[in-house]
């Protein structure tokens, strides 16, 4: 059974600091996703990582994927208050060789304080 | 390009009632998936429909069912509602062979 673990689950940061969120998954998966969720809102897609060594950056967020270690990281550079949200990673299962469904981690609730 | 549309946005139902939620995918997307989000269990997969066929199903009781129409719109139904069914229900659409899942705004269901 595919499991996805994120840590930390809660993260309180000061503005201007850097930090990394980790996402481990238990079995092979083709793709890894990062989403952002603001309170009471839906999931906003941040990154889709498709291959080993993939790195994607958008603004102050950078995501990477190591499929051999089954690990993805979401690095936050010089945090600002607007980044306060819950961040989820998710991996795709396979169903008999075809695309399956997303398995989500529990999410990392990020709070950026002045 | 319109996004994924879910209706209604909010629902309050009484235990024992049934409810139907609707999801209209992005135009051209033929796959629709449903997820339940609760504070305790997080985001859990309910089922996925593709070309009017259920292709994949999560570990939920038979009270949870769904269907997809020829225009790719999907509905999910929950019968005999329980307090624990209170959740945010999200649907996501994707196109065949695509990588991205686009989520709708969700339906917040409260069972009292």
What are φ and ψ of residue B100, in 5° steps? -90, 140
* Residues with Cβ within 8 Å of residue A59, at least 6 apart in sequence: none
Can you read off the two tokens belonging to residue A34?
A: 């990062």
On the question of pLDDT at B98 being above 70, the answer is no
**Contact by Cβ (8 Å): A11, A20:** no
Cβ-defined contact of A31 to B99 (cutoff 8 Å): yes
Say which residues have a Cβ less than 8 Å from residue B62's Cβ, sequence separation at least 6: none
Bond before A113 cis per omega within 30 degrees: no
Q: Work out the minimum CA distance from A105 to partner chain B, whole angstroms.
A: 8
- Nearest residue to A33 (alpha-carbon basis) of B65, B101, B96, B41: B101
Task: Select from A59, A64, A61 the least CA-distant residue to A110.
Answer: A61
For the record, the structure tokens of B57 come out as 């199903």
Q: Is there a contact between A102 and B100 if contact means CB atoms under 8 Å apart?
A: no
User: pLDDT-derived band of residue A53, with 50, 70 and 90 as boundaries?
Assistant: confident
pLDDT reported for residue B45: 95
* Nearest-neighbour CA in chain A from B81: distance (Å): 22
Supply A13's token pair. 């940061």
Per-residue pLDDT tens digits for B7-40: 999 999 999 999 999 999 999 899 999 999 999 9
Q: Is B102–A88 a contact, with Cβ atoms under 8 angstroms apart?
A: no
Query: How far lies A113's CA from each of A16, A80, A107, in Å?
Result: 10, 8, 19
Query: What CA–CA distance (Å, rounded) separates A31 from B108?
Result: 29
Residue holding tokens 């629902």?
B11
């Amino acid at each position: 059974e595919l499991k996805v673990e994120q840590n930390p689950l809660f993260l309180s940061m000061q503005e201007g600091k850097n930090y990394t969120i980790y996402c481990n998954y238990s079995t092979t998966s083709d793709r890894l996703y990062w989403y952002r969720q603001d309170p009471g809102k839906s999931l906003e897609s941040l990154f889709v990582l498709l291959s080993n060594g993939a790195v994607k950056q958008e603004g102050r967020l950078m995501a990477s994927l190591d499929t051999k270690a089954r690990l993805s990281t979401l690095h936050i550079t010089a945090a600002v208050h607007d980044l306060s949200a819950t961040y989820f990673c998710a991996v795709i299962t396979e169903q008999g060789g075809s695309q399956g469904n997303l398995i989500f981690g529990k999410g990392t609730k990020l709070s950026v304080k002045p | 390009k319109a996004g994924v549309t879910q209706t209604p946005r909010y629902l309050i139902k009484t235990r024992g009632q049934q409810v139907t939620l609707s999801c209209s995918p992005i135009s051209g997307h033929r796959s629709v998936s449903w997820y339940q989000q609760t504070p305790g269990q997080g985001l859990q997969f309910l089922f996925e429909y593709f070309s009017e066929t259920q292709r994949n199903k999560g570990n939920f009781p038979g009270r949870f069912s769904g269907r997809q129409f020829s225009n790719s719109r999907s509905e999910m139904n929950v019968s005999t509602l329980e307090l624990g069914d209170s959740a945010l229900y999200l649907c996501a659409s994707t196109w065949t062979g695509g990588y991205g899942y686009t989520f709708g705004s969700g339906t917040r269901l409260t069972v009292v």
